[in-house]
Amino acid sequence: MSEATKSALSSVSWTELSIAEQAARVSRGELSAVELCRHYLTRIERLDVALRSFLHVDAEGALAQAAAVDAARAAGEALGPLAGVPLSLKDNLCTRGLATSCASRILEGYIPPYDAHVVERLREAGAVILGKSNLDEFAMGSSTENSAFGASKNPWDPKRVPGGSSGGSAAATAARLAAASLGSDTGGSVRQPAAYCGVTAIKPSYGRVSRYGLVAFASSLDQVGPIARDVADAATLLGVIAGHDRRDATSVEREVPDYAAECGRDPKGLRVGVVREAIEGCEASVRAAIETAMEALSGLGCELVEVELPNASHSIAAYYIIAPAEASSNLARFDGMRYGLRVAADDLAATYRKTRSQGFGAEVRRRIMLGTYALSAGYFDAYYLKAQRVRTRIRQDFDAAFERCDLLLTPTAPTVAFESGAHADPLSMYKQDIFTLPASLAGVAALSMPCGLGEAGLPVGLQLSAPAFEEAPMIRMAHALERQLGVLPLTPPGYGGEA
Amino acid sequence: MNASYETVIGLEVHAQLRTHSKLFCGCSTQFGAPPNAHTCPTCLGLPGSLPVPNAAAIELAMRAALAVGCEVRERSVFERKNYFYPDLAKGYQISQYALPLNVAGKLEVETEAGGRRVIGITRIHLEEDAAKNLHSSAAAQTLVDFNRAGVALIEIVSEPDLRSSAEAEQYLRNLREILMAVGVNDGNLEEGSFRCDANVSIRAPGATELGTRTELKNINSFRFVRKAIDYEAARHHAVIAGGGKIVQETRLWDDAQGKTVPMRSKEEAMDYRYFPDPDLPPIVVSAAQIEAAAGVLPELPATKRARYVAELGLTAADAGVLTSHPALSGFFEATVEELSSRLGGRIEPARAGKRAANFIQAEVLRDFSADGLEASLPLSAAALSELLALLEAGSISGKMAKGVLAEMIASGKPAAKIVEEQGLSQVSDSALIEEVVRKVVDGSPDNVAAYRAGKQNVVGWFVGQVMKETRGQANPRMVNELLRKLLEGE
Amino acid sequence: MAALTLDDVRHVANLAALELDDRDPEELEALRAELSAILEFMADLDAVDVTGVEPTAHPFPMASPLRPDEVLDVVPRERLMAAAPRTQDGAFAVPKVLEGDS
């Protein structure tokens, strides 16, 4: 068999390799990082027209990074745990020298002068950055329809949304246009798109991963999270990006366990709390898939208990006051003075107004208005302070629930991926976040994994959450459940690894 | 002081803290660099940047607070003050609002009647400084330099307890002096490291409610303080006497025109929408840390002055001069200590103090210069104390000492060496002096007669002759004593 | 929690430096109605008993870490200012600021 044939045959399965295996093969010289990178770039060129998951593809930069990995290997240097692994990054993560637009006209063409902390970690680990993924503008949204540069599609069905705000990251990962991706989660923005696209994502505990270089949406909620094809890959990525960073005062100084090593460990003995209200509150096909998963859990020797999060239903109201309030302040720096769009106008005040009104899309402007109102004199106590108190109650609910179980289980979203335009009314869109919001408000760890196919053959996501900094047992459980369910590999039709 | 109204003044001072780096990032605070040379993603408010507080800033803010008797809170919170302005990179300033670091202190001032009054300090909190707007030659633009943006400031807010522009000036001088003495601020008004805003209102004498106030911004020199406040109080009076109402607004002092002018007023009072900064967990200082900070507080200027008068023989005026700069008081105290030690402790503190004070003021002060907290003196305290010891022992005269000092400064040589080289030892041997005095007196019977006839100032001639004979080295005090004895007695 | 008036909307837009198109009253009213509906939904929070509960500013009780007072050289000025819409003599050039303070 010729080398070319061998190569052609084996490249079919490169996209099915775990990222650990990709890195291992690159490190052993069995797989050229440049070849691997080219393979993904070719797929992007061919398939992303239909998905629009990428905002910027940096072919030149990616190939140069890959070549550097290959050269290092040839020189006998030690390579990192992600050597040659091609990744995409949500376009609200600052990448030095590479456009970072946050899917907004106000940052169109903006090139950061520095790398986000997580990007530094990825580069140190030898990863190759293919480009930046589409998102809802400034991470505000649950469908990626709010991108100023066009919506992304769900690879399972182009009439449907990939979810949001990290829709581009989830779509690219599901379609094998990147080995994995980093997104950001404020109210469910890695978990829900993962659920809609049939991939796995982790929202780390607040403070687990540095926010330095993540363009802030809601500072007390934002976390960078991995989106990958399975639990093992998500765990591998989390292990690379987690840990203390002196440049982020909210980043915690706690040891990072070996998350990847949790995969394959026996979860027996872990108690799983089921939030019955959540399961009953969702669409029939979602419920069916979740209940199947619950049976599988019992089969693994894990006790299921019923728990309640009595204040969880109030998380929508609380979140949609707190997040916009913080966002209204975080986005005040986009004023046309030092970077980004500046619209010429008669005077200073007009410059501010025109720049911001033309630069920000409708949803962003809406949230800035809501947030400004919630913080304004006369309303601060009734809205912002009240919402933060309700948030404390929600935290207390989790504390109480975790006294009776080690992990909580809910669906990730009440339905499978919805059709584009289905939730044009903002309020109806906000209500889709009902299951992911509570963990964000409480700051605990959460994970979404596919647990089956539901209505119209679309993926259903299952969410596990764990007490803060207990990602390890959560990963252990998720991995075992993933194996037990045997749902993976999940490949959207037409996006298989055939090049 | 106008009898028809009482002026009520509250002062807000913004003082830059003497830290090497800014409050929330590692950029240098050094003054005078080219525009934007000291900037980074954080102080420029680039997307994705985050603040991390500077430990030294917390420490200095605590020290300032303790120096004016404030209570330091163990838990304080940074909040965001939201508004749009080109000198505000993030569209908000990180400050402290509901839970500031320090509360409830006080400062004393002297009243015009000569008594003392206590002025309350409401709070001292930490915040970041804004960028500087520079003028541009181009008509429709302003240039912004972010070197200053993010520098650590403390805002010191007084109660509206001040009752005159004179008190206000005193309060500012005293406050500045204290901050310099504890090493928190360099007192440099020209460079803008110590800035003041004044809130002024008037009311009928004896009234308890406050009148509507106006805010005078950025009063940058002690001269302007009094002029601006006096003008503004009078303006309030004129408006009210004319049947009008004071508009609550912000005004600037225009020194060229000698009046205050309104800043472009906004229709509504600004709503800053303060809320705790989610990027910054609370600042927690332990009781032990607060105690430790209090323990290393140096002696404050007012206490020093009182001690100088009570124990070191100085007048209030002397004390005032010598505490006008921390380097000067340090120099004075070291000189006194060294002098005492050189004389084996056999000199009384008051005498040592007085001698040092007189000599420093007369001969050394002219060569003292200061730039902020940096200062230079022409010689060391040790060197000076050696000279003063010689003077005290009578080995040289005061006149000789001046010359020796000049040579010490020029050459760097120690006093004793110079005295030896120049053969300047003062003669204090009474037998020797008596011999010379007798010789001169005996050699001039006409002048003796003149003296006895009432022409007292002919003594000067005799002294001159004795000095000539002894080449200026006779101890003048002894010469005078002996001369008078001989001229009068016998 | 009352509904928003058009004046409220204008006031908030002003605070947020956002422009409202006063030429299209229908659109303005639509925005007002939309924001009102969302805020009315927030009345849901009234149902929660929060007596004795402190607001959560940060998810976990933390004390801020402090940085040593060191000068760090992070990024060269040219790179930091590369995205500026306009500069002059090393400073950011912005539309004229009229107030006297600085």
Domains of chain A by residue range: 3-316+384-485
- How many C-beta neighbours within 10 Å does residue B404 have? 24
A113 touches chain C (CB under 8 A): yes
Please indicate whether, in this complex, the C-beta atoms of C93 and B142 are within 8 angstroms of each other: yes
pLDDT of residue A418: 97
Q: Are strands B275-276 and B79-82 parallel, antiparallel or unpaired?
A: antiparallel
Tokens of A484: 């037990």
Q: List residues of chain A with CB under 8 Å from any CB of chain B.
A: 93-94, 100, 102, 107, 110, 112-114, 116, 211-216, 218-220, 246-250, 325-326, 328-329, 331-335, 337-339, 348, 352, 372, 375-377, 380, 384
Read off the pLDDT of residues A102-135 as tens digits, 9 standing for 90 and up: 999 999 999 999 999 999 999 999 999 999 999 9
Question: How many Å lie between the alpha carbon of B175 and the closest alpha carbon of chain A?
Answer: 33
Mean pLDDT across chain A, nearest whole number? 95
Question: How many Å lie between the alpha carbon of B292 and the closest alpha carbon of chain A?
Answer: 25
A90 is annotated as an active-site residue? yes
pLDDT of residue A497: 62
Residues of C in contact with B21 (CB under 8 A): 67, 69-72
pLDDT of residue B396: 84
For chain A positions 69-108, those within 8 Å of chain C (CB to CB) are none
DSSP string covering A290-342, please? HHHHHHHHHHTT-EEEEE--TTGGGHHHHHHHHHHHHHHHHGGG-SSSSSS--
Count of alpha carbons within 13 Å of A55, Cβ hemisphere only? 33
C61: left (phi over 0), alpha (psi -120 to 50) or beta: beta
Question: How many Å lie between the alpha carbon of B344 and the closest alpha carbon of chain A?
Answer: 55
Q: Are strands B132-135 and B141-145 parallel, antiparallel or unpaired?
A: antiparallel
In the complex, which subunits touch C with 3 or more CB pairs below 8 angstroms?
A, B
Of A350 and B445, the one with more pLDDT = A350
Count of alpha carbons within 13 Å of B202, Cβ hemisphere only? 25
For chain A, helix, strand, coil in percent to 5 are: 45, 15, 40
Comparing alpha-carbon positions, the chain C residue that sits nearest to A362 is C31
What one-letter code names the amino acid at A106? Answer: I
Comparing alpha-carbon positions, the chain B residue that sits nearest to C97 is B142
For chain B positions 42-101, those within 8 Å of chain C (CB to CB) are 44, 46, 52-58, 77, 84-87
Q: Are strands B141-145 and C91-95 parallel, antiparallel or unpaired?
A: antiparallel
Spatial contact of B1 and B204, defined as CB atoms under 8 Å apart: no
Q: Tell me which residue of A372, A385, A383 sits closest to B83, measured CA to CA.
A: A372
Computed from CA positions of residues B438, B442, B446, B452, in that sequence, does the dihedral angle turn out positive or negative? positive
Please indicate whether, in this complex, the C-beta atoms of B41 and A113 are within 8 angstroms of each other: yes
Angle at B267 between CA B45 and CA A375, to 5 degrees: 50
- How many C-beta neighbours within 10 Å does residue B370 have? 18
Of the residues A27, A32, A90, A210, only one is catalytic, namely: A90
Question: How many Å lie between the alpha carbon of A212 and the closest alpha carbon of chain B?
Answer: 6
Position B111 pLDDT exceeds 80:
no
Sequence-distant (6+) residues with CB within 8 A of A135 are A90, A91, A92, A102, A103, A141, A144, A147, A164, A165, A166, A167, A168, A169, A183, A189
Q: At how many degrees (to 10) do helices B165-181 and B55-67 cross?
A: 130
Count of alpha carbons within 13 Å of B84, Cβ hemisphere only? 24
Residue B103 — very low, low, confident or very high, per pLDDT cuts 50/70/90?
A: confident
pLDDT of residue A6: 55
- How many C-beta neighbours within 10 Å does residue B353 have? 27
Cα A39 to Cα A25: distance, rounded to the nearest angstrom:
15
Read off the pLDDT of residues B244-279 as tens digits, 9 standing for 90 and up: 999 888 899 888 889 998 886 554 568 999 999 999
Cα A9 to Cα A31: distance, rounded to the nearest angstrom:
13
Q: Tell me which residue of C72, B49, C82 sits closest to A97, measured CA to CA.
A: C82
Residues of A in contact with B49 (CB under 8 A): 212-213
Q: Tell me which residue of A5, A438, A414 sits closest to A195, measured CA to CA.
A: A414
Chain CA centroid to CA A450, Å: 14
Find which of A375, A379, A440 to mutate to test the B interface (most B CBs within 10 Å of its CB). A375
A165 is annotated as an active-site residue? yes
Residues of A in contact with B84 (CB under 8 A): 332, 335, 352
Report ipTM (2 d.p.): 0.95
Tokens of A220: 């007390």
Cα A184 to Cα A93: distance, rounded to the nearest angstrom:
9
Spatial contact of A39 and A15, defined as CB atoms under 8 Å apart: yes
Please indicate whether, in this complex, the C-beta atoms of B41 and C70 are within 8 angstroms of each other: no
Question: How many Å lie between the alpha carbon of A220 and the closest alpha carbon of chain B?
Answer: 5
Q: Number of A:C CB contacts under 8 A?
A: 159
- Cβ burial of B477 (10 Å; 0-12, 13-18, 19+) is exposed
Please indicate whether, in this complex, the C-beta atoms of C53 and A389 are within 8 angstroms of each other: yes
Cα C99 to Cα C81: distance, rounded to the nearest angstrom:
25
pLDDT of residue A240: 98
Cα A475 to Cα A492: distance, rounded to the nearest angstrom:
24
Please indicate whether, in this complex, the C-beta atoms of B138 and C63 are within 8 angstroms of each other: no
Which of A111, A253, A348 minimises the CB distance to C96? A348
Where do the domains of chain C lie? 6-46
Residue B441 — very low, low, confident or very high, per pLDDT cuts 50/70/90?
A: confident
Comparing alpha-carbon positions, the chain A residue that sits nearest to C78 is A113
Of the residues A104, A165, A210, A448, only one is catalytic, namely: A165
Angle at B43 between CA B42 and CA B44, to 5 degrees: 90
Which of C15, C88, C100 minimises the CB distance to B143? C88
Residues of C in contact with B144 (CB under 8 A): 91-94
- What's the CATH fold of domain A3-316+384-485? Amidase signature (AS) enzymes (3.90.1300)
B262 touches chain C (CB under 8 A): no
B33 touches chain C (CB under 8 A): no
Which H or E run includes A382?
none
Read off the pLDDT of residues A461-496 as tens digits, 9 standing for 90 and up: 999 999 999 999 999 999 999 999 999 999 999 998
* CATH 1.10.10.410 is the classification of domain B430-487: yes
Please indicate whether, in this complex, the C-beta atoms of C72 and B276 are within 8 angstroms of each other: no
Which H or E run includes B326?
helix B326-342
pLDDT of residue A349: 94
Question: How many Å lie between the alpha carbon of C12 and the closest alpha carbon of chain B?
Answer: 10
pLDDT in tens, chain C (102 residues): 467 899 999 999 999 999 987 778 888 898 899 999 988 988 889 999 999 999 988 888 789 999 999 999 878 888 999 999 999 999 999 998 876 443
Spatial contact of B409 and B367, defined as CB atoms under 8 Å apart: yes
**CATH 1.10.10.410 segments of chain B:** 430-487
As a whole number of Å, the end-to-end CA separation of chain A is 19
What one-letter code names the amino acid at A128? Answer: V
Which of B48, B89, B278 minimises the CB distance to A112? B48
Find which of C8, C24, C42 to mutate to test the A interface (most A CBs within 10 Å of its CB). C42
Q: List residues of chain B with CB under 8 Å from any CB of chain A.
A: 41, 44-53, 80, 82, 84, 86, 89-92, 144, 271, 273, 275, 277-281
Question: CA-CA distances (angstroms) from residue B164 to A184, B155, B197, B205, B227?
Answer: 58, 22, 15, 13, 11
In the complex, which subunits touch B with 3 or more CB pairs below 8 angstroms?
A, C
Please indicate whether, in this complex, the C-beta atoms of C63 and B54 are within 8 angstroms of each other: no
For chain B positions 195-224, those within 8 Å of chain C (CB to CB) are 217-218
Cα A93 to Cα A104: distance, rounded to the nearest angstrom:
13
Read off the pLDDT of residues B305-343 as tens digits, 9 standing for 90 and up: 999 999 998 999 999 999 989 999 999 999 999 999 998
Question: How many Å lie between the alpha carbon of C83 and the closest alpha carbon of chain B?
Answer: 10
Cα B35 to Cα C90: distance, rounded to the nearest angstrom:
6
Find which of B29, B60, B141, B191 to mutate to test the C interface (most C CBs within 10 Å of its CB). B141
Cα A249 to Cα B281: distance, rounded to the nearest angstrom:
7
Read off the pLDDT of residues A19-33 as tens digits, 9 standing for 90 and up: 999 999 999 999 999
Cα A25 to Cα A33: distance, rounded to the nearest angstrom:
9
pTM to 2 decimal places: 0.91
Position B431 pLDDT exceeds 90:
no
- How many C-beta neighbours within 10 Å does residue B383 have? 19
Mean pLDDT across chain B, nearest whole number? 90
Below-70 pLDDT ranges, chain A:
1-12, 497-499
B344 touches chain C (CB under 8 A): no
Spatial contact of A446 and A439, defined as CB atoms under 8 Å apart: yes
Sequence-distant (6+) residues with CB within 8 A of B336 are B312, B349, B352, B353, B356, B385
Residues of C in contact with B264 (CB under 8 A): 98-99
Read off the pLDDT of residues B213-243 as tens digits, 9 standing for 90 and up: 999 987 888 888 999 999 999 999 999 989 9
Residues of A in contact with C18 (CB under 8 A): 353, 356-357, 360, 365, 368-369
Q: At how many degrees (to 10) do helices B459-469 and B476-488 cross?
A: 130
Sequence-distant (6+) residues with CB within 8 A of B461 are B447
